[in-house]
């Protein structure tokens, strides 16, 4: 992305936001373009000052960690970037889905950076994606990362890969093992945050809790490709060659009617979800995930149903035991 397009995108984002603004740097690996990232942050600060704009603004970035040396981490902290780290478990589990270009694993290189990462970002969010290739080591991987010092985990499954009956059985086993670890951490008063349990417990305690940080909010999300092309969500940008969902360009403007039509389409509920007993606690509305797997904004992948049902069952059992034992950390987290 040229500096000119990046600066235009910053102004465009401000002009098209009502109450607050989050700017996320995404890739690939955004830190391959870290000079541009830090330029955008500096430019936004200067431009806002000149134009007397006070709308709250936050910066986010997700990194694979390979370029996060001490100096870069310090710059990120000083720029108040909310940083997340992609780690698909520990050791060989991570290496199975994140090899280096020469085919060797990347985990050891990133692990060497853990002390610096945790020093600058002690509460960093770890984003872990599992597929049939590494799901068998999920619980062990998350547990090991916890003992490396990480406390906040967002776990997702790769819905696009084929999940046969055997890998589904392994997924259920791994979720149960991870649930035991999660519960044990509360019992030991050293809790861990894991989205697949936290979010379903929170959605039980408070039906109106925020379920998603992107589409779910008023203003919605737009994604800008290096060319300046606008898409409804970062998951649709890819190589910027498929223009089925193209909404315009930051330099020439956005087709608002098209965007509104897509939002309405994406907002329609899949009929089976509307009558499902898990409705209200299931995150089935991510149009990007649905579209990728089923070419429809609304039809959730089968694996999403099975995963959700498994996670809700476990979350309810865990929450009920922790509630009945009046676990103080659990009550404070979810009921205060």
The dihedral region occupied by 150, where left means phi > 0, alpha psi between -120 and 50, and beta the remainder, is beta
Return d(Cα 93, Cα 145) in angstroms, integer. 12
Least distance CB 78 / ligand SF4 (angstroms):
28
Least distance CB 62 / ligand SF4 (angstroms):
12
238, 250, 291, 241: which is closest to 28 by C-alpha? 238
**Of the ranges 46-54, 181-189, 192-200, 208-216, which one interacts with ligand SF4 (CB under 6 A)?**
208-216
Return d(Cα 60, Cα 13) in angstroms, integer. 14
- 249/308 with CB nearer ligand SF4: 308
Distances (CA, A) of 248 to 9, 120, 228, 232, 242: 12, 38, 8, 10, 13
Label each residue of 223-263 as H, E or C: EECCCCEEECCHHHCCCCCCCCCCCEECCCEECHHHHHHHH
Which 249-308 residues touch ligand SF4, going by CB under 6 A?
Answer: 272-273, 276, 278-279, 282, 284, 286-288, 300, 304-305, 308
Which 154-173 residues touch ligand SF4, going by CB under 6 A?
Answer: none
Least distance CB 244 / ligand SF4 (angstroms):
14
- 143/221 with CB nearer ligand SF4: 221
Least distance CB 273 / ligand SF4 (angstroms):
3
- 5/282 with CB nearer ligand SF4: 282
Return d(Cα 24, Cα 222) in angstroms, integer. 10
The binding track of 305-324 with respect to ligand SF4, each residue x by CB under 6 A or -, is: x--xx---------------
Q: Per the structure block, which two tokens stand in for 84?
A: 């997340």
- 72/128 with CB nearer ligand SF4: 128
As to burial, measured by CB atoms within 10 angstroms (0-12 exposed, 13-18 middle, 19+ buried), residue 60 is: middle
CA angle 100, 103, 107 (to 5 degrees): 50
Least distance CB 25 / ligand SF4 (angstroms):
16
Q: Sort strands 152-157 and 21-25 into parallel, antiparallel or unpaired.
A: unpaired
Return d(Cα 258, Cα 287) in angstroms, integer. 16
**Total of chain residues touching ligand SF4, rule CB under 6 A:** 21
Least distance CB 296 / ligand SF4 (angstroms):
13
The binding track of 94-113 with respect to ligand SF4, each residue x by CB under 6 A or -, is: --------------------
Q: Sort strands 248-249 and 253-254 into parallel, antiparallel or unpaired.
A: antiparallel
DSSP 218: S
Name the H helices within 65-207: 70-78, 92-97, 107-111, 114-120, 138-148, 165-187, 195-205
Least distance CB 289 / ligand SF4 (angstroms):
6
User: Does 212 interact with ligand SF4 (rule: CB under 6 A)?
Assistant: yes
Q: Report residue 66: phi and psi, to 5°.
A: -65, -30
Distances (CA, A) of 320 to 208, 267, 310, 326: 20, 33, 16, 10
**Of the ranges 33-41, 59-67, 84-92, 209-217, which one interacts with ligand SF4 (CB under 6 A)?**
209-217
Least distance CB 160 / ligand SF4 (angstroms):
14
Least distance CB 21 / ligand SF4 (angstroms):
15
- 37/223 with CB nearer ligand SF4: 223
- 89/301 with CB nearer ligand SF4: 301
**Of the ranges 18-26, 139-147, 162-170, 214-222, which one interacts with ligand SF4 (CB under 6 A)?**
214-222
Which 216-245 residues touch ligand SF4, going by CB under 6 A?
Answer: 221, 233, 235
Contacting positions for ligand SF4 (CB under 6 A):
212, 214-215, 221, 233, 235, 272-273, 276, 278-279, 282, 284, 286-288, 300, 304-305, 308-309
């Amino acid at each position: 992305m040229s500096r000119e397009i990046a600066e235009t995108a910053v102004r465009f984002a401000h002009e098209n936001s009502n109450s607050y603004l989050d700017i996320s740097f995404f890739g690939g690996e955004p830190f391959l373009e870290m000079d541009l990232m830090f330029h955008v942050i500096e430019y936004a600060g200067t431009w806002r000052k000149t134009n007397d704009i006070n709308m709250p603004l936050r910066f986010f970035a997700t990194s694979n960690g390979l370029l996060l040396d001490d100096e870069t981490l310090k710059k990120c902290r000083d720029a108040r970037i909310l940083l997340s780290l992609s780690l698909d478990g520990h050791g060989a589990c991570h290496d199975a889905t994140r090899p280096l270009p020469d085919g060797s694993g990347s985990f050891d290189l990133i692990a060497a950076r853990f002390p610096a990462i945790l020093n600058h970002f002690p509460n960093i969010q770890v984003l872990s994606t599992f597929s049939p290739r590494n799901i068998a080591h999920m619980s062990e991987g998350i547990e090991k990362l916890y003992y490396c010092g990480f406390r906040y985990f967002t776990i997702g499954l790769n819905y696009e890969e084929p999940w046969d009956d055997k890998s589904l059985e392994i997924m259920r086993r791994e979720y149960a093992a991870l649930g035991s670890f999660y519960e044990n951490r509360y019992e030991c008063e050293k809790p861990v945050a894991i989205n697949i349990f936290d979010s379903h417990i929170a959605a039980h305690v408070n039906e109106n809790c925020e379920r998603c940080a992107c589409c779910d909010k008023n203003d919605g999300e737009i994604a800008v490709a290096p060319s300046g092309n606008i898409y409804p969500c970062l998951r649709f940008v890819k190589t910027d060659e498929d223009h089925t969902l193209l909404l315009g360009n930051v330099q020439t403007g956005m087709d608002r009617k098209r965007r509104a039509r897509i939002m309405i389409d994406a907002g329609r509920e899949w009929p089976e979800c509307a009558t499902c007993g898990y409705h209200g606690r299931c995150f089935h509305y991510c149009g990007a995930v649905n579209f990728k797997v089923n070419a429809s904004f609304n039809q959730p992948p089968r694996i999403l149903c099975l995963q959700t049902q498994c996670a809700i069952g476990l979350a309810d059992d865990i929450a009920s035991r922790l509630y009945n034992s009046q676990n103080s950390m659990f009550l404070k987290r979810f009921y205060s």
